Structure 1
Amino acid sequence: MGKKRVMVPAADVDLSAVKYQNEAIQDSACWSSDHITFEEGEQDNSVHKCGTDVVSMNALTESETGVVVVDEDGKPEDRVELAMKCLPPYNAASSWNEDLASSFRYWKIRDYAHAYRSKFVTPSMVAEQIIPVIEEFNKKDPPMPLLISFDAEEVRKQAAASTKRFEEGSPISILDGIFIAIKDDIDLYPHPSKGATTWMHEVRPVEEDAISVSRLRSCGVIFVGKANMHEFGMGTTGNNPNYGTTRNPHAVDRYTGGSSSGPAAIVASGLCSAALGTDGGGSIRIPSSLCGVVGLKTTFGRTNITGSLYDFGTVEVIGPIASSVEDVMLVYAAILGSRPEERISLNPSPPCLPNLSSRDGADALGSLRLGKYTAWFNDVQSTNVSDTCEDMLNLLSRTHGCEMVEIVIPELQEMRTAHLVSIGSEFINSLIPEIEDGKGVRLNHDSRTNVRLFRSFRASDYIAAQCLRSTSIAGSSSPSWHAYKPSRKETWATSFVNILWRRLMYHHMEIFKKVDVIVTPTTGMTAPEIPSSALSYGETDLQTTGYLMRFIIAANLLGFPAISIPVGYDKQGLPIGLQLIGRPWGEATLLRLASAVEELYAKPKKRPASFYDVLKTK
């Protein structure tokens, strides 16, 4: 008989006995044209199965303070207007008198809006600054495109319409005339959605905007095109042999991180105020950290993923990337809103925004408890990463009185396995028809390696992963969390699974009884170098992947909101990000704390090596 692995009930886990295990991964490979073959049906059933006993779940119902409730059924432009009122007053003098040459900063959305309304520039003038740069990146050798799909005349047409609205004194919202890029796995009509493959658009035509895109369009946003990404999002570096690999604006010999490589890079380069990315395994937070910008992964179900290549799964969300917390907040306000079916299944609390202009909001910072698992926090490639994040946490405590609480998170390795099985199984299930139709051989070698791994997972692996997880992902306020009673129609197997899928959520919700936010570095390393041999065929570097994904899994597997904020640089001048992980539906708390972190970071930001000041007013 085979060995059977038994786990004690989640409530009986002795946290004092939990020992953190450093994750050491050595395998890596840069692919050559003859490195791997693609064969169907190979099995490698090495995933460990885990069981657990019945656990009970007490829902956390603590409400956020100093917030404004947002009507997710209202017009996006009205939500953006409400978000504007939550921001501190805009000081045009301080924004425009600062010398960017001596003190670098990014232009914010409100800077663009002020410039347009003051007739310093027009959206059409800004478009003419952006277009030649995008075209230049596409012509580089080797190619390093920020965008996969780009139509200069379409950009000019949108900019002209926005310019006309400003001339008539009738801009739609603060986002009118703001340039935004859309990741290539989110539908932006009439651009194709390729997912950075060479063929996805052949089997899945785009007939309309994704819901999140349509909400931005109704606010007057100008879309520059479809941003580059790791093929199908199945990688953490952003490497893409199909179209060229996007380079990190801070060092062109470094990766941006993935899979939302293009969105993060185009924001960090100054060409766009914001971008939309997707996050199923850190794909917003990893590139945001490596490129020195802000990336928000919302609670699962808080934003509508309809119109994405991944609207079938249980880990992926659409979220904003921008150079500042306030710009992330404005874009988030425009795109938020759950799907009807998720309101039923997840029972989300109403979306809220932090009132950053009120004293109540400032006072709320002092009551926050920040949870830190020190052994995990320090498991980084360079202590420069953990030390920089630690310095910011100490500054938060000294300045605002935030309480640091030592926590223990058990079963991290099991969580990594459950996430891999969950995202891999859901991904491969959506692609089986195309793979069996012969499209699999047209994937990059690293994607094909992942496909072979994902196809080795069995139904029992997927069920075991869900046993460790939860049914309603982030539905802490859903009645399903209080008690489970199997119906007569359920088989013993269905009943077993429905009872058992609360384990990892149980551990984390117990932690959230003690703390408001879990804090970690966003990534365990700064931007890795791009091997020249990887540009043509891609690479699989599991050690790099392990460092980049070290801290991001819980937010995807369990659906929690999380945000990455830049807090400094390593000795090579590469950005370092701090991650904040919140309770389900707690985006307002994360945005408030992220804003405080941003304000406390007093050192001047470094101008990226590839930066373009497209808001030229002289």
Structure 2
Amino acid sequence: MRRLGVKEVEEECSFIHSQVERGNSCACDMAVKTLPSVEDVLSAREEYLNPEPTAPKLTGFGLKAFVWAIEIETISRPILGSILKDNKTLEIIRETIIPDEPMFYLEYPAQKIKEAEVLLLEEESSSVARVEIAVDSLPPPVSSFKEKLSSDYPFLYWTIRDYAAAYSSGHVTPSEVAERFITVIEQSEKSTPRMGYLISFKPDDIRKQAEASTQRHAQGKPLSVLDGILFAVKDDIDCFPHPSTGGTKWLHRYREVKEDAECVSKLRKAGVVFVGKANMNELGLGVTGHNTHYGVVRNPHDTGCHTGGSSAGSCALVAAGLCSGALGTDVGGSIRIPSGLCGTVGLKVTVGRTTLKGISGVSWTMESVGPITANVEDLILLYSAYLGSLPTDQLISGPLPPCLPNIKENPRSTLQQLKLGKFSAWFKDTLQAEVAEVCERSLKLLFEGYGTETEEIFLPELQELRNGHLVTVAGEYATTLRPYYPHVKKEMGLEPRSNLALFYHFSTHDYVAGQQLRRRQMHYHMEAFKTVDIIVTPTTAMTAPAIGAGSAKLGESDLVKAGNLMRFILAGNFLGLPCLSVPVGHDSKGLPIGLQLIGRPWEEATLLRVAAAIEEVCLPHRQRPKVFHDLLK
């Protein structure tokens, strides 16, 4: 880290002093207002307002000084109070009467199965049986594996069915593919820049799994189409024999891994080969993919750019062609943000659709585990294998039975019947105009190809949604980590420490206010879903941001960047809705752009159907990343 001069140190100290002074005056400026009823808000249809978050961008010494200050209670309260007041968080959470009951756990309207052309899955059925149903739901491959072997054949990624064909034909074995993977990872650790894919990597364990799969294929008895497929797991999901660190240097000391997480166990029974634990933002507290302890995860499309987070390594491995799929977790866009920035497909399921058993989770009302793949076909296969919740996980509202879209023919009539909803003022609120333009183009191509119409909707109080999500994350993280925090704080990176200092600034009253806002937002979104089937937005308001020179070692605190990356994703977590990011093109620099689909509770199948159609019509506009490894040729 470079040394700061006297002038720069004075400027940092002056900033902290000014925030203390502003914070001390906050209490004098308070005014109380009352939010109107949800019915009046919907009738008024006020203009969309979503002001940028305001806070200093800090890295290096400035971040270090800031964290030091906010971890001292007498100093932290006025500093954080000032920042929260500037962002109108205090005005919404503490200075406003919210005339609604809190929604402490997600409550959905009574529902019936409305999705057309779906295949139901039994809750108690095996992962192998489900994968067989998923394979049957897919159309025949457009081209065979042998055709794709031609050097001039244009395609982006090998699919899972391509790998299965390569194994069954004897072109290659799972053991040979595993060795190629191991070689690439070992080389990437020495490369400049280091890609930072994995936290835990055990070559002998990979070889052992791959050899067992090779033997099954040699005998003509693969467990499923997933047998021998390489798969990564985010480092907050248990995958024996790896520890689960959650991107920290301490969590594994308190939480020993003795068996696979439920989702990992289901995939393993289908024959998946697990390659290790993928790098992530420490404790999921970040949206860039930076980790002080294990390094920055580099974006395969441009190694000078972030992947997005917190499921950073999971997306990077898939984007680089090293894994057909990966598991991530999502509390604040952690699957969808990196999928949008890396050009992968990422699914955040309805909260309660899949179990969190075996996940070192931190948010019991918003977290879900989901698959990340290079294409929608592979996503359907992996989703079918790992989904399912235990009786103790199911919500009081009761999930609808899990199902898959039958896209074998993907009839135009089924897609014609669906309506997409777009709140145009919000949709266009991107840092880069071309992000919204590319997403608009994808909707136009979908209409031209399948007749799926997009109509205007209204979603009010999006700033209130952002603040409700913030205090809910804060309360749940703070409660979950309270037993550890005093003992391990000094072992954390600066960015997660600054976030946790903010989280502990909030009170139980703030958390309850957040749940009152949750009920209002549920009402607004359910009203929208009365007229449309899916809400569409860009996945992020910007493409992959550059990795700053000063942030590579110590990290950074940049709420403006975080706001642009998180602008469209919060409803999926706050309301537990299923969401999917599908790549639709690139910006002028060649960086990927994703379109987000937000669905009704439990209607993942509809998202998958529409995503498959969007992927098809947008395929000519997509590019392979600069860092790509062909493990089959």
Q: TM-score when scaled to structure 2?
A: 0.89
Which of 257, 281, 306 is matched with 2:332 structurally? 281
Q: Which segment drifts farther, 151-160 or 5-14?
A: 5-14
Question: Which residue is 1:9 aligned to?
Answer: 37
> What pairs with 1:238-257 in structure 2 (closer than 5 Å)?
238-257=289-308
Question: Which residue is 2:13 aligned to?
Answer: none
Deviation at 1:593, TM superposition (A): 0.1
Asked if residue 39 in structure 1 is aligned to residue 79 in structure 2, the reply is: no
Asked if residue 28 in structure 1 is aligned to residue 57 in structure 2, the reply is: yes
Question: Which residue is 2:158 aligned to?
Answer: 107
> What pairs with 1:296-445 in structure 2 (closer than 5 Å)?
296-310=347-361, 313-343=364-394, 345-358=396-409, 361-436=411-486, 438-445=487-494
Deviation at 1:92, TM superposition (A): 5.1
Deviation at 1:97, TM superposition (A): 3.9
**C-alpha offsets along residues 396-425 of structure 1, whole Å, 9 cap, x if unaligned?**
122222121101101100110111111121
Q: Which segment drifts farther, 139-148 or 369-378?
A: 139-148
Q: Any conservation in 1 of the 2:45–2:458 contact (CA below 8 Å)?
A: no
In 2, Cα distance between equivalents of 1:149 and 1:59? 43
In 1, Cα distance between equivalents of 2:132 and 2:524? 38
Q: Any conservation in 2 of the 1:295–1:321 contact (CA below 8 Å)?
A: yes
Question: Which residue is 1:125 aligned to?
Answer: 176
Q: Residues 324 and 456 (structure 1 numbering): CA distance in 2 closer, same or farther, change over 3 Å?
A: same
Question: Partner letter of residue 433 of structure 2?
Answer: T
Q: Residues 150 and 602 (structure 1 numbering): CA distance in 2 closer, same or farther, change over 3 Å?
A: closer
In 1, Cα distance between equivalents of 2:378 and 2:44? 42
In 1, Cα distance between equivalents of 2:363 and 2:306? 29
Which of 278, 283, 302 is matched with 1:227 structurally? 278
Q: Residues 70 and 145 (structure 1 numbering): CA distance in 2 closer, same or farther, change over 3 Å?
A: same
Question: Which residue is 1:488 aligned to?
Answer: none
Q: Any conservation in 2 of the 1:236–1:283 contact (CA below 8 Å)?
A: yes
Which of 186, 194, 206 is matched with 1:135 structurally? 186
Structure 1 unmatched ranges of 5 or more: 470-501
**Alignment size in residue pairs:** 582
RMSD: 1.9
Partner of 1:13, secondary structure, is helix
Question: Which residue is 1:52 aligned to?
Answer: 99
Deviation at 1:62, TM superposition (A): 5.7
In 2, Cα distance between equivalents of 1:58 and 1:369? 20
In 2, Cα distance between equivalents of 1:545 and 1:368? 33
**C-alpha offsets along residues 434-458 of structure 1, whole Å, 9 cap, x if unaligned?**
112x201111111110010000010
Q: Any conservation in 1 of the 2:438–2:585 contact (CA below 8 Å)?
A: yes
Q: Residues 517 and 427 (structure 1 numbering): CA distance in 2 closer, same or farther, change over 3 Å?
A: same
Partner of 1:340, secondary structure, is coil
In 1, Cα distance between equivalents of 2:109 and 2:382? 33
**C-alpha offsets along residues 14-51 of structure 1, whole Å, 9 cap, x if unaligned?**
44432111432353111338433162655445433251
Which of 165, 173, 178 is matched with 2:216 structurally? 165
Asked if residue 261 in structure 1 is aligned to residue 290 in structure 2, the reply is: no
Q: Residues 550 and 296 (structure 1 numbering): CA distance in 2 closer, same or farther, change over 3 Å?
A: same
Partner of 1:346, secondary structure, is coil
Q: Residues 99 and 570 (structure 1 numbering): CA distance in 2 closer, same or farther, change over 3 Å?
A: farther
Question: Which residue is 2:258 aligned to?
Answer: 207
Question: Which residue is 2:550 aligned to?
Answer: 533
In 2, Cα distance between equivalents of 1:565 and 1:596? 10
Question: Partner letter of residue 284 of structure 2?
Answer: G
Asked if residue 175 in structure 1 is aligned to residue 244 in structure 2, the reply is: no
Asked if residue 198 in structure 1 is aligned to residue 198 in structure 2, the reply is: no
Q: Which segment drifts farther, 19-28 or 587-596?
A: 19-28
Structure 2 unmatched ranges of 5 or more: 1-27, 85-89
Deviation at 1:311, TM superposition (A): 6.1
In 2, Cα distance between equivalents of 1:54 and 1:277? 33
**C-alpha offsets along residues 33-87 of structure 1, whole Å, 9 cap, x if unaligned?**
8433162655445433251247998545461001010112110111111100000
In 2, Cα distance between equivalents of 1:429 and 1:58? 29
Q: TM-score when scaled to structure 1?
A: 0.91
Q: Residues 434 and 100 (structure 1 numbering): CA distance in 2 closer, same or farther, change over 3 Å?
A: farther
Q: Any conservation in 1 of the 2:345–2:580 contact (CA below 8 Å)?
A: yes
In 2, Cα distance between equivalents of 1:547 and 1:376? 12
In 1, Cα distance between equivalents of 2:574 and 2:483? 26
**C-alpha offsets along residues 442-494 of structure 1, whole Å, 9 cap, x if unaligned?**
1111111001000001000001111121xxxxxxxxxxxxxxxxxxxxxxxxx
In 1, Cα distance between equivalents of 2:71 and 2:261? 34
